[in-house]
Structure 1
Amino acid sequence: MYSNPYVKSVLWLIGFGGMGYGLMLLTEPSAEKIERIRASGSPTQLTVDEKKKALFMEKLKAAATSSTPIYRPAPAADKKDS
């Protein structure tokens, strides 16, 4: 029975799947730990480099939602201010 490759495959699948599920339950963080992680990464404590990265990501999001390319200059309405 164990010489059948299909039976072996099913047994290995069940074994590794069970081990993966067990590890997932064992290493799951608690709600308290998740809150501590969120509190330590508050946006008020950003460094200059992180602020630049955040600004860049905002510009990319704005470029993704608009139809004009990011490398094009601003519209004429913005040029009146200068």
Structure 2
Amino acid sequence: MINFDKDFLAGFISGAVVGATGYKLFEDNAGDLKRLVKSTGNSLKASTSGNINAEPTLEELTMQKENLEDLIAEKELKLKDETDKNN
């Protein structure tokens, strides 16, 4: 049989209390959390039926393309700067 010392039991009990409190807070604020995630989430809009796989608009795709091109240009510039410093 395993001997449980006081530290283990104190940690287990405090973990259970924190977990239960977190779960209770999550359940109480589920609506607020869903709204927060929806407002800060990806730019795809869900339809009224809750379908998350909605088609992105051409404007959204163009914005994503421009953002990716900017990120690629930054990475290439950093890589070029690093290779120039090493040579």
What's the TM-score, normalizing by structure 1? 0.39
Which is bigger in relative contact order (C-alpha 8 A, separation at least 6)? 2
What's the TM-score, normalizing by structure 2? 0.37
**Bigger radius of gyration among the two:** 1
